Amino acid sequence: MALNSLAELDAVLMVARRGKFRTAALELGVSTTALSNAVGKLERSLGVRLFNRTTRSVSLTEAGQQFVAQIAPAVRDIHEAMDVARSQQATPSGTLRINAFPTAAREIFSWLVLPFLRAHPNVHIDIVTEGRLVDIVAGGFDLGVRSADLVPGDMIALPLGRARRNVVVGSPSYLKAHGTPMIPQDLAGHSCFRVRLPNGAIHRWPFEKDGESVHIDVEGAVTLDEASLARTAALASVGLALAMESDVRDDIKAGRLVCVLEDWTPILAPLSLYYPNRRNPTAAFKAFIDFARRHSGAGDA
């Protein structure tokens, strides 16, 4: 009887979860070739094909569906048992997997993630950024970072810092050439960078003042699916960008970008670090939570 490694079982579960070898490989931190070889080795050992593969998609066969349904709870129990063992470690080590919105990952990276790694060099942090909401338990993540108002009710949430906001910014030369918008409706006369959301919809810029709320479907020559690219374009004086204030704070202080419509910019919910209740957290997990709790206001200093 063949003995299959836990890595091979993890590989099958991740491919089944993500539906793509490339995406699964990135999350596991291995090459696509190595992942494909691990799955293929397990299939040969079992004598059945677990996945239907085409150049465009990957899907479970009927045998694969049955196999994944049966092994998933057992593999989860094995990982939990390993976590229990690791929780006895005096020195935090191992890998922490964090899922976050791209903007949220950028906000916590400098003041939380990097200082934590300097304090705990034996810990590896794997950050996956996604614009869509993700079930962190089903996705195999230890922690998530989202706006506080988007954290599922069955999760434990740790607030990170103060409230945040988006800002509309443009370069001094762009504003000199095209004028400064005074109310949101003035954006109709400006070139703005449109952002496509994960569901394919175009993000409408939100504004609020004195109880009045308005969402503007801006126009412009560029549509992006990554909001941070708008900063680069705004610095190049191509148009106006809606950006997370933390992403452009240094540019504003240096005078490279100027805020407009500030009295119309609504406050957003603060970020939260969240996680499911864990009976036996690893030493690395406990250390990260404790570190975040001690430094949760540092990101806004």
Per-residue pLDDT of 71-88, as tens digits, reads: 999 998 888 788 777 666
Residue 217 lies in a domain: yes
* Pair 58, 125 in one domain: no
Q: In the listed set 77, 103, 130, which residue is the last one of a domain according to the structure? A: 77
246 shares a domain with 132: no
Type of residue numbered 114 = L
The three state secondary structure string of 115-150 is HHHHHCCCEEEEEEECCCCCCCCCCCCCEEEEEHHH
pLDDT of residue 91: 82
Q: Does residue 59 have a pLDDT over 80?
A: yes
Q: Looking at the predicted structure, is the pLDDT value of residue 204 above 50?
A: yes
**Cα 1 from Cα 138, distance rounded (Å):** 30
Host domain of residue 173: 165-268
User: Is the residue at 286 inside a domain?
Assistant: yes
CATH at 114: 3.40.190.10
Domain shared by 287 and 158, yes or no: yes
Between 28 and 191, the more confident residue is 191
Distance CA 95, CA 49 (A): 31
Residue 212's DSSP bridge partners are 209
* Residue at 1 is within a domain: no
Residue 87 domain-assigned (yes or no):
no
CATH number of the domain that residue 71 is part of: 1.10.10.10
Does the pLDDT of residue 1 top 50, yes or no? Answer: no
Share of the chain above pLDDT 70, in %: 95
Judge whether 10 lies within some domain.
yes
| Same domain, yes or no: 17 and 98 | no
Regarding whether 73 and 10 lie in a shared domain, the answer is yes
DSSP 195: E
pTM: 0.66
Tell me, yes or no, whether 289 and 153 share the same domain.
Answer: yes
Q: What is the pLDDT of residues 179-188, one digit of tens each?
A: 999 999 999 9
Domain check: are 123 and 28 in the same one?
no
Contacts (Cβ under 8 Å, ≥6 apart) of 146: 100, 101, 104, 133, 271, 272, 274
31 and 156 part of one domain: no
Kind and range of the H or E element at 174? Answer: helix 172-178
CA distance 162 to 298: 10
Judgement on whether residues 48 and 184 belong to the same structural domain of the protein: no
- The average pLDDT across 276-290 equals 88
Do 159 and 286 lie in a common domain?
Answer: yes
DSSP per position, 221-260: SEEESSTHHHHHHHHTTS-BEEEEHHHHHHHHHHTSSEEE
Mean pLDDT of 234-243: 95
Tell me: do 12 and 98 sit in the same domain: no
Residue 92 has pLDDT above 70, yes or no: yes
Question: pLDDT higher for 98 or 280?
Answer: 98
More confident residue, 226 or 65: 65
Question: Is 288 inside a domain boundary?
Answer: yes
Q: What is the pLDDT of residue 86?
A: 67
| Lowest mean pLDDT, pick from 94-103, 262-271, 292-301 | 292-301
**In degrees, to the nearest 5, what angle opens at C-alpha 242 toward C-alphas 238 and 246?**
115
Do 136 and 280 fall within a single domain?
yes
pLDDT over threshold 50, residue 194:
yes
Average pLDDT, the chain: 89
Q: Is residue 148 included in any domain, yes or no?
A: yes
pLDDT band at 155 (very low <50, low <70, confident <90, very high): very high
Where residue 183 sits, what CATH number does that domain have? 3.40.190.290
Rounded to whole angstroms, the Cα distance separating 143 from 273 reads 7
Number of domains in the chain: 3
Residue 72: inside a domain: yes
